[in-house]
Amino acid sequence: MRPTTTRKKAVIKRKPRKKASFFSGKLLRFSMIGFFVLLFLGVCYHYRNGLAYYFSFKSHKISYEEAEAKRISDVRNYQVLENHQGKAIGIDVSEFQGKIDWTLVETIEEDHPLEFVFIRATAGNDRVDGQFEDNWLGVKKRKMIRGAYHYYRPNENSLEQAQLFIKTVRLRKGDLPPVLDIEKLPKGQSLDSLKIGLRRWLKAVEAHYKVKPIIYTGEKYYDDFLKEDFSDYLFWIANYNFYREKIEEDWLFWQFTEKASVSGIKGNVDVNIYNGDVEQLRFITME
């Protein structure tokens, strides 16, 4: 008979867990808070002029009524105008702005006189803008440089669209060249077909007015579809993005906002910068 033996269980010693350092966690939190504070202060410094205007901290304070009538609602927009001192500033309008009192249309902010206005004349092959005639004559009376644009519908006949514009718009000496506004992609047709139609419109209008039209479009549309094939034309580019603060060298005009306030116009209006001063702008007008 074997003697009974008692086996001792092996005892596994576990290493004690290290307690999370109180100071390391606190340091991380303070570092993150500090980063966001510095980021916020950097943004505030970058937009200091616009913020000062927005909160009426400038020495030449204006009344609430004047501010509401003339100020640009977005701080960025004010900053963009400050970045383009000396450039010609203008707006573009259509029937969506309703009836405009052109006797009151003078400046954006107190420091930026409006030098030019683009006016929508036609859309597609059958639509004349309801306020075109009034706007066209109103701008002329204000002795501002004026231009007319056509909103192009990709799925409608391009030559019919060109003829409608030609029939509607009578350009005179001192007016800006005609503008083709293309923003939409075609339905049921190829991009090649779209580009053929655009070319037909541009050639027909150029043949009539004896001047090369300008093309208006968004920056992405320009980069993706038009930049290479229409490099022989000058472009008016729309980009409202927060990061964009300067006009590109190869842009003739830059529409940098659709949310501006101008005396004489109810609601918002688009603002544009010409890539030059007002004398250079006059240089490209009709002779």
Alpha helices in the chain (DSSP H): 22-46, 48-54, 64-70, 75-83, 132-141, 158-168, 191-209, 219-221, 278-283
The encoded tokens of residue 56 equal 């009426």
- Cβ(245)–Cβ(82) below 8 Å: no
With a CB cutoff of 8 Å and minimum separation 6, the contacts of 238 are 216, 217, 218, 219, 254, 255
The one catalytic residue in 66, 111, 183, 250 is 183
Residue with tokens 């701008």: 139
DSSP 122: E
The one catalytic residue in 74, 92, 175, 219 is 92
**248 flagged as catalytic:** no
- Cβ(201)–Cβ(152) below 8 Å: yes
Residue 275 to residue 110: CA distance in whole angstroms: 21
- Residue 13: half-sphere exposure toward Cβ, Cα within 13 Å: 1
The DSSP code sequence of 167-217 is: HH----TTPPPPEEE-----SSS-HHHHHHHHHHHHHHHHHHHTSPPEEEE
Residue 256 to residue 273: CA distance in whole angstroms: 8
**183 flagged as catalytic:** yes
Q: How open is the CA angle 239-242-244, to the nearest 5 degrees? A: 55
Q: How open is the CA angle 205-208-209, to the nearest 5 degrees? A: 85
Supply the residues annotated as catalytic: 92, 183
